[in-house]
């Protein structure tokens, strides 16, 4: 393939499937050849990201991701997508290992938040404990002058139950629990918008989108950007490189 991109997934696999399902569904295709060219690395055996962030005595997820980046870089994709918010804890190290641009999902999500909700001040963040602890989203949101709202311990327990018990362990989305979490963020913690800072939460949004609460769905956004970039590279590689440079700019 002359122009393609690489998806680093498997963290977890169900969320990666959601990314691919949305990507293919949103691609304007009338025949096989209209779909996008991409490679999927579904590296499901990557150590748990949250476990390492909370306790560095646990196996690090950096070495296997570096291996993936270096292997895939030899194939010269146009760009990388990492379908895991928590994995962006090591974004700088991963980007330093390759000259090929890696889309920064949290950064792009918060940039989109500023454009879509310019008057939002209190921004809720729901994510894994690892994403909360690593501060990647909090730093991005705070840099825009907005207040980051995390809820309380009970809400975090509910988020963890939705992610780990229902989605990762049971392979199901508890729509009622997901909606309850969003309702608490808006009514009790009075947020203007809630950022879904975990790809399993994006899967919940895909499967249970019928609710009145404003959200920023980072994975859905990265699906749209992947599509825009891939189509741009297909039409005109120079245009694709220009768009990619714009997305990578601070």
The CA distance from 19 to 164, in Å, is: 18
Question: What separation in angstroms does the CA of 119 have from each of 115, 123, 143, 147, 187?
Answer: 9, 11, 15, 12, 18
The CA distance from 140 to 34, in Å, is: 35
Catalytic residue among 8, 84, 173, 232: 84
- State which H helix or E strand residue 80 sits in: strand 80-82
The CA distance from 127 to 143, in Å, is: 19
The CA distance from 218 to 223, in Å, is: 9
The CA distance from 111 to 105, in Å, is: 10
Pairing label, strands 38-42, 102-103: unpaired
Residue 98 bears catalytic tag = no
Residue 84 bears catalytic tag = yes
Contact between 25 and 213 (Cβ < 8 Å): no
114: CB partners within 8 A, 6+ apart: 144
151: CB partners within 8 A, 6+ apart: 124, 126, 184, 185, 188, 189
Residue 28, both tokens: 């304007």
Catalytic residue among 198, 204, 218, 222: 198
> Could you list the active site residues?
84, 198
């Amino acid at each position: 393939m002359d122009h393609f991109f690489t998806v680093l997934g498997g963290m977890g696999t169900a969320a990666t499937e959601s990314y691919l399902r949305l990507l293919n569904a949103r691609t304007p295709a009338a025949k096989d050849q209209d779909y996008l060219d991409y490679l999927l690395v579904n590296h499901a055996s990557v150590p748990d990201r949250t476990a390492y962030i909370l306790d560095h005595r646990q196996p690090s997820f950096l070495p296997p991701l570096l291996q993936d980046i270096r292997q895939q870089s030899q194939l010269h994709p146009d760009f990388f997508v990492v379908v895991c918010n928590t994995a962006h804890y090591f974004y700088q190290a991963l980007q330093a290992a390759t000259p090929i641009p890696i889309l920064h999902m949290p950064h792009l999500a918060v940039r989109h938040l500023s454009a879509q909700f310019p008057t939002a001040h209190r921004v809720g963040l729901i994510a894994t404990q690892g994403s909360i602890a690593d501060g990647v989203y909090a730093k991005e949101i705070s840099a825009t002058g907005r207040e980051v709202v995390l809820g309380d311990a009970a809400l975090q327990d509910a988020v963890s139950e939705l992610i780990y018990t229902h989605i990762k362990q049971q392979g199901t989305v508890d729509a009622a629990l997901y909606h309850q979490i969003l309702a608490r963020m808006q009514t009790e913690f009075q947020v203007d918008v809630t950022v879904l800072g975990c790809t399993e939460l994006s899967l919940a949004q895909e499967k249970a989108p019928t609710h009145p609460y404003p959200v920023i769905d980072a994975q859905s956004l990265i699906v749209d950007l992947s599509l825009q970039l891939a189509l741009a590279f297909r039409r005109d590689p120079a245009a694709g490189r220009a768009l990619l440079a714009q997305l990578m700019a601070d």
